[in-house]
Amino acid sequence: MISYDFSSRVAVVTGAGGGMGLVLAQMLHKSGASVLMIDVKEKPGDVSEDDRCIYAQGDLTDAKFVSAATDAAFKKFGRIDYLANVAGVLWFGKDVSLLDIDLGVWNQVMDINLKSMVHTIRAAVPHMRKSGGGAMVHFSTIQCLRGDSKPQDAYVAGKAGVVAMSKSIAMQLAADRIRSNVIYPGVTKTPMQARWDTEEKVRQMADYVPLHRVGSPDDMANAAMFLLSDAASYITGADLVVDGGLMLKY
Ligand SMILES: NC(=O)c1ccc[n+]([C@@H]2O[C@H](COP(=O)([O-])OP(=O)(O)OC[C@H]3O[C@@H](n4cnc5c(N)ncnc54)[C@H](O)[C@@H]3O)[C@@H](O)[C@H]2O)c1
């Protein structure tokens, strides 16, 4: 296990109420960082706010909420160094082919999965500049690298947008020493994949992955820790596939 020293650093993590975002926020906190955890869900039972942790419950589509929460973290902790955009939704059944999708659903998915990234970056960057630089990591999906006979077109289009915006902002902010990178998770056992509700379903999915297991939130959080850390200080505008080799099959 690699250990990082994030003491005296401050991170904003979205989607921190469950799945990958929760694990990443906990890893950062354990490594010494102060953390602003944002999620629309209630604070999980095993999270307690302390002098290095704020939990802000609210909707990332609300720009005013995002900027108020980020400003409050800056006021309490004195700086913002990192932004992890982990939150996302995948609406099985409602998010379908672009030929059929309800455009209200399309807009909602885009607002949550893509436009929220505009809100969080706008809120964090002025504070990162004052702090002398920073790093961001944004969560996309391997799904946006391929076609699918059972499509979720709003999800994949939004997640492709995440990649494009990360590269664009990486270029715009390089002079400010602010880095921006993307993780493409593969199939990962989190609340988002509640449909794998039996050992058998998880095993079937695992057998399809070249490394013969589904990903864990720790796998994704470990990749994010690296990209945020100074060990990745020369990496910006990059994408990292973390999928147990699944994309090798496509
Ligand atoms: N689990 C997978 O197999 C998988 C695969 C590829 C990519 N991803 C991506 O990884 C990221 C993390 O996914 P996860 O599996 O941990 O999912 P998850 O559902 O467990 O966690 C996502 C979190 O985002 C929060 N969220 C959703 N909408 C929000 C909003 N409007 N405002 C604030 N918070 C909101 C949810 O409440 C939830 O806690 C997502 O962006 C997802 O698209 C997941």
User: Does the pTM of the predicted model rise above 0.85?
Assistant: yes
Mark whether 234 is an active-site residue: no
Strand pairing category for 239-242 and 178-185: parallel
Atom of ligand 1 nearest to the CA of 20: 16
Strand partners, 56: 38
pLDDT digits (tens, 9 = 90+) for 77-130: 999 999 999 999 999 999 999 999 999 999 999 999 999 999 999 999 999 999
Atom of ligand 1 nearest to the CA of 21: 16
pLDDT digits (tens, 9 = 90+) for 204-243: 999 999 999 999 999 999 999 999 999 999 999 999 999 9
User: Is the CB of residue 210 less than 8 Å from the CB of residue 246?
Assistant: yes
Q: What is the DSSP letter of 176?
A: G
CB-based pocket (< 6 A), ligand 1: 15, 17-21, 39-41, 59-61, 86-90, 112, 139, 141, 185, 187-188, 190-193
